[in-house]
Structures are given as C-alpha cells and as structure tokens.
Structure 1
Amino acid sequence: MPTLPRIDSFADELTAIRRDLHAHPEIGFEEKRTSGIVAEKLAGWGIEVHRGIGGTGVVGVLKGKGGGSKRIGLRADMDALPMEENTNLPWRSTVPGRFHGCGHDGHTTILLGAARYLAETKDFDGTVHFIFQPAEEGLGGARAMLKDGLFEKFPCDEVYGLHNAPDLEHGVVAISPGPAMAGADFFDITITGFGAHGAMPKRSRDPVVIAMNLGQALQSIVSRNVTPTEAAVLSITQIHAGSAYNVIPNEAKLAGTVRMFDAGVRKMIQDRMRKICAGIAQAFEVEVKCEIRDIFSVLDNTEEHSKVIAEVARGVVEPKDVIVRKTPKMGSEDFADMLMRVPGAYFWLGHDGSVPVHNPGFVLDDKILPVGASMFARIVETRLPLGA
C-alpha cells in the first residue's frame, strides 16, 4: 500500500497549511497562533480539543468505530527557532529572527493530515490522542506537558513521533531500536577575573587567558575520562569576553553542550567539569561559576514499537526504503521524556534537499507531508484494527 489516496486527495491543502505556518513562525511557549490554527482545524473535523496543556500545547481526542479501550498517542512539535531565514521562498518567514529551520511546521502539518484522515474514516477500534507539543528546541516543552498531567489526562498505551530528515533520500523511513538519540546537558561557565589596560596585563587576572586554559582542560574529559567504548561529546559553542582592543575585561563566559547515552557517563562528566572549574579558579585566583542543566533525556525506542514502524513503513513506502539503523544519533529530542513514561518509537522521514536542519537555508520538501500523515494514520489502523 502506498500513501493513502484519501490523504493524497488533500495534499495541496496540507501544503497550504504548512506554508502558512512557515510564514508565521513562533518560538517555544509562544505558539499562540500556531496552536490556535491546530485547535481550529481539529475542532472543524469533529475532534475533541483540549488547549493549554504545558502552556501552548494542544491535545485532540478521537474515538474510532469500535468500543476498544486501547489508546495511542501521536506527537508533533510546533515551535520554530530563534534564527533568521535565508531562502527567499515566497512563503519565507515574515517574522524577523524567527524561522522554522528544523521543520516543525512540517511535523505539525503531518499530524494534522493524519488527524483529518482518521476523523473522516474512523477505521480503527480505540482512541487516538493527537499531541501537539510546544517548545521542543531546548526549552522543555515535553516536560511541561508531562508536568501538566499529559498522560494522566490523556492516557496512552503507546506513543509515536517523527522528524524530517534531509540527510536521507525522499521517502526513506529510518528507525533505530533501543537508544536512538543522546541525552543532552547545556552548560554556562562564567569566569570573573580582574580587568586592566591591554598594555598592562600584570595588573589583571585575565579571564580571557583563563577561558582558553579552561576550554583546553574541558576537552580532556571525553578523551581521557570517558571509557573509549562509551559515546560522549563535549562541545564549547559560545565564548563571550571583552568589548575593546586595549581592555582586558573583568569577565569571560563559555557555554556549550554535552551529549551522552549513559547516566553514569553523564554524572561523571558533570562532576569532572565542576572539579576542573574549581581547580582553574584556585590556580588563577579567580571566581569560576559552572551551571549545568539537564535538557534532554536519552531517547529509547522499544524493540516492539520499532518493529511496528518498520512494518507500517513497508506498506507506505518502498520496502527497500525502510532502514533499521544500529548506530544512534548524537543529536537530542525531548520526545525522549514522553518515551520514558509511555513505550513507543520515534522515526525519521527522508526528503529532497541537501541543506541540513538548523541552517538558515534549510527548506522542507512538502512532498513528504502525505507520506508522514499516511505513516501516522497507518500506525493507528495497524495497532487498533477493527474486528480484532
């Protein structure tokens, strides 16, 4: 079975929705317009709508034809990134500093497409919860929905999510059983030294030089403290210091991210970072503050539900285009927190385009909208069959 013909029949409408969302991006916990459109569409299709879950989150509830008690959750993220777009498309962002550079506008539209199809057909026995999540991009949207009682209010026996993938060929579906995406910490380190004239460094406790030493020392953690067979990354992604050519500043800041798959490795890296910062502070007689925040859990796909994805995908795309990956990704995804509460799986859907996500030139291929919607719809029909 290819993409569902009924979904193909309204593919142009899905494209119009996606491009409208793209032109009006909203970052995490600010998705008021987006969530309003989602709620309006769901209600128009006769789906029970609940708003304000985890801030701007929306959940739609739909019962099938049978009287079954099993419940499935389908999740899409809605937020954009705080960055500029550089595509010059007719539907490019109209909001300065806001861009759907990760394709969440596509994810939202895909789930809307599945919701419309399932509302029109209801060829399943049980209940579907359509979960439209805010603030996936490092702001804790999944945790906010969970704290607000997501799965207590809308219980699910299993839950599924997806992400577009420009690194895969169009129509390729990839699934990774087991740990599939890394857990992530974000860190901010502030070095408070003593400024002076750039020509008189002896009168300073130079935070710039100290920052360079600290950066080098932090890079030794993965290379010398993490067991070589364990995967981990520590990346310093920001350095901020100074405002003039001839002034040694009082302060320097480092920020970045740590990725890992093991809780023990996570704690060890955190401990080593704090100890190195304390040692640098003592050695250079300055103050060094180190703040480390747990942002993403490890995303773990169950074997059973990974097989569901592969089975369904072979009926929606060419069987040769279904990939079971053994190597996890070092990227992170807060759907992981939902999977820690409810078993399920998260998969990737390839599309045309060579520019990666989070790049100002990223372009989502609208041809994947009916493919993703068909995947979600067929998961429901497969897991909640009528007459079973």
Structure 2
Amino acid sequence: MPVLNRIASYAEEMKGWRRYLHQHPELAFDCHNTAAWIAARLREIGVDEIHEGIAKTGIVAIINGKGPGPVIGLRADMDALPIEETTGAPHASTVPGKMHACGHDGHVTMLLGAAKYLAETRNFAGKVALIFQPAEEDGGGGQVMVQEGMMDRFGISQVYGIHNSPNVPFGHFQTTPGPLMASVDTAFVYLTGKGGHGATPHECVDPVVAVVGMVQAIQTIIPRNVYALDEAVISVTQIHTGTASNIIPEEAMFCATIRCFKPDVRALLKKRFYEIVEGHAAAYGVTARIDYDWGYPATINHEDQAEFAAEVAREISGAEAVNARSNREMGSEDFSYMLEACPGAYLFLGTGPGAGLHHSAFDFNDEASPVGASFFVRLVERAQPLA
C-alpha cells in the first residue's frame, strides 16, 4: 500500500507548512510562535481538543474516533538548533543563528498531515493524541511532558514517533525491538593546580600534564572494563587551558560525551570515570571538580510495538524497504522518556541523499512528508480498528 491518495493530495499544502516552519525556527522550550502556529493549523483541521502549555510550549491535541477504544499517542518534536544556515534555499531560516538542522519542521508537518486525514475520516476507534513536543535538542521536553502527567491525563496506552534519516534510501523505514538509540551523559571536569613560569615547572602544579594523563586513561575504560559485546562510547570533545607559550596555567578543563545502551553499563562508566579522574588528580597533585550530567536514557522500543510498527511500515513502503532489525544508533533521543512511561516504538524514515543531521546545509526532503503522514494514519487505523 503506497502513500494514501488523500494524503498525496495534501502534498503542496504540507510543503508550505514545512517551509514556513523552516523559515521561523525556535529553540528548546521557547517555541511560542511555533506552538501558536501549530495550534492555528489544528483548529483549521478540526481536531476535537487542543491542550496548550504542556512543558511550557508543548501541545497535545485530541481527535476522537467513531467508537469507544484506547488512546494512541503520536509524537513530533518541534524545536530547532543554534546553527547558522548555509543552504541558500528560498525558504532558508530568517532567524540569524538558528535553523531546523534536524528536520523537526518535517516531523511536525508529517503529524499535521496525519491529523488532517484522521480528522476528516475518523476511521478508527478510541482517540488519537497528537503530541507536539519542545526541547528535544536541549532540555528534555519529552521528560517534562511525562513528568507533568501527560500519559495519565490523556490516557495514552501506546506511543510512536518517527525521525527522518538523510542518506538512507527514500521511503525506507528502520527500527528494531529493544535498544535503538543510546543513553547520553556529559561530564565536565575542572582542574586546578598552581600556575607559574614555564621555565620553572618544579615550582608549579601543572594541570596541563594532569589533563593529558586523565584523557588518555579515560580511553581505557571501555576496552578494559566493559564487556566487548556491550556497545559504549566515550569521546572527549573539548580541552581548554593556557593563555601563553611560556606560562603554566592555573586551571584546565575537559568534557566528554558518554553513551551506551544498558543501565548497568551506564553506572559502570560513571563509576570508572570518577575513579580515574580522582585518582589522577591525587597523583598529579591537582584538585578536580566533576559536573556529571545524567542525560537522556537509552531509547528502548517495546518488542510488540516495534514489530507492529514495522508491519505497518511494510504496507506503506513495501517489505523490501523495511529493516525491522536495524543497527543501533549511538545518537540519543528524549522520546526515551515516553517509552519508559508506556509501550511504543520509534522509527527512522529515509529521506534520500543530502546533508547530514545537524549540518548547516541540511534541509528536510518535502517528498517524505506524505510518507510519514501515511504511516501515522495506518498505524492508528490498524492499532484501533472500528468493530
């Protein structure tokens, strides 16, 4: 079953929606204009309820089916990134230093397209909860929506989301039961020694030597402490110290991103990180302060829902275009909090060749919007059929 004919007829309208959103990006929880624009489209579409102000700027809209039944949640994130756009497209960002470099404008468009069809046809039982979430990129808006009681308030019994995937063949779906995306933690380490002249290091306590030793030792955590089949990554991404060629600085800092799939591995990585930093600090005579940000948990699909979602995807794109046992991703997603709160699944939708996610030249492929909208619609109709 290809893209639904009725949704195909929305293609130009959906393109207009997406390009408007692309021109007007907003960050984190400050998606006030984006949320107001989405709410206006939802009123035009004719949904039954619009609940605003969840997690500051999030929205949950309800569409009632033609009979009694459960509530299925469909989620789209709507925040942008602090990146200066370089696409040169006619619909490029009009906001300096901000752009939709991850395709959340496309995610919103797919969900709005599905909402328009579902509000017209209502060929399902129960209700659909349309979740428009802020602050996926920074701030954990998904966690805040869950903490504010979204699942219980609207009686959501299962939840699904899609992320676009550039350079995956157009229209191909990828997912897997169990862990799909990694947890993400961030460690900031601040070292203090005793500065002085580079010609008299014996009179100093050198934080530069300490930071070099720590960074090298941290790279031994995974190969020497983590079981080889338990995937994990520690990448040191910043080192800052010093001001001149002949001065030993007083301070140094570094930070690292730490990712894995299992809670016990996550706890082990934190434990060993602290032990190495504190041990090396004592050895080098510096003091160390660690700010360890416990970030998004792993995105773990529920087995039944992942298999069901893959089955629906086959209806839309064909069996050969669905990988239901795809590789895990070391990226992270705060949809993980919704999957901790109730059963559901997350999928990737290929959008064909183009710049990668979080790149200044990225632009969502508008031809993918009807595909994603069709998937959401069939997911609802299959999950909650009329008697």
* TM-score range relative to shorter protein: over 0.9
SS in 2 for 1:358: coil
> What secondary structure is seen at the aligned counterpart in 1 of 2:119?
helix
Q: Does 1:286 align with 2:286?
A: yes
Q: Is 2:370 aligned against 1:370?
A: yes
Q: Name the CA distance, whole Å, in 1 between partners of 2:245 and 2:375.
A: 57
Letter in 2 for 1:277: V
Alignment-mate amino acid for residue 345 of structure 2: A
Partner amino acid, structure 2, of 1:62 = I
Task: Look up the SS of the partner of 1:153 in the other structure.
Answer: helix
For residues 287-342 of structure 1, give each alpha carbon's deviation from its aligned partner in whole angstroms, at most 9, with x where no partner exists.
Answer: 11112122111111122111221221122113211111243211111101100111
Length-normalised TM-score, structure 2:
0.96
* 1:123 to 2:123 alignment: yes
* % identical aligned pairs: 46
The alignment of Structure 1 onto Structure 2 pairs a total of residues equal to: 386
1:142 paired to 2:142: yes
Q: Does the 8 Å CA contact 2:174/2:326 hold for their aligned counterparts?
A: no
Structure 1, residues 342-366: CA drift from partner, whole Å, max 9, x if none? 1011001001223211122222111
2:6 corresponding residue in structure 1 = 6
Match of 2:256 in 1: 256
Query: What is the CA–CA distance in structure 2 between the aligned matches of 1:227 and 1:314, rounded to whole Å?
Result: 35
Question: Do the aligned partners of 2:183 and 2:332 also contact (CA within 8 Å) in 1?
Answer: yes
After superposition, give the CA deviation of every residue in 1:244-269 in whole Å (9 maximum; x if it has no partner).
34433222111121111111111111
Q: Does 1:52 align with 2:53?
A: yes
2:303 matched to which residue of 1? 303
Distance 1:84 1:242 in 2: 29
List gaps (5 residues or longer) in structure 2: none
Structure 2 residue 180 is the aligned partner of structure 1 residue 184: no
Say which SS state the counterpart of residue 126 (structure 1) adopts. strand
CA-based RMSD? 1.4
Q: Distance in 1 between matches of 2:194 and 2:185?
A: 29
- Measured in 2, the distance between the counterparts of 1:200 and 1:141 equals 51
Q: What TM-score, normalized to structure 1?
A: 0.96
**Structure 1 residues without counterparts, runs of 5 or longer:** none
The question of whether the paired residues in 2 share the 8 Å contact of 1:353 and 1:365 is answered with: no
**Corresponding residue for residue 63 of structure 2:** 62
Deviation at 1:209, TM superposition (A): 2.1
Assess if the C-alpha contact under 8 Å between 1:277 and 1:289 holds in 2. Answer: no
Amino acid aligned to 2:21: L
In the alignment, which residue of structure 1 is the partner of 2:333? 333
Q: In structure 2, what is the equivalent of residue 274 of structure 1?
A: 274
Matched position secondary structure for 1:265: helix
1:73 aligns with: 73
Q: Is the 8 A contact 1:190 1:289 kept in 2?
A: yes
Counterpart CA distance in 2 for 1:278 and 1:259 is 21
> 1:16 deviation in Å?
1.0
Cα–Cα, structure 1 residues 178 and 247, in superposed 2: closer, same or farther, change >3 Å?
A: same
Contact 1:51 1:57 in 2 (8 A): yes
SS at match of 1:2: coil
- State the distance in 2 between where 1:117 and 1:64 align: 12
| DSSP-derived class of the 2:328 partner | coil
Letter of the structure 1 residue corresponding to residue 357 of structure 2? V
- Separation in 2, partners of 1:14, 1:330: 31
| Letter of the structure 1 residue corresponding to residue 11 of structure 2 | A
1:26 deviation in Å?
A: 0.9
Q: Which residue of 1 aligns with 2:42?
A: 42
Shift of 1:199: 4.0
Which AA in structure 2 matches 1:183? S
Structure 1 residue 105: Cα displacement? 0.9
Counterpart in the other structure of 2:355: 355
1-structure distance, mates of 2:247, 2:83: 31
| Cross-structure match for 2:219 | 219
Residues 91-121 of structure 1: CA deviation (Å, up to 9, x unaligned): 1122222121111111111111111111111
**Corresponding residue of 2:97:** 97
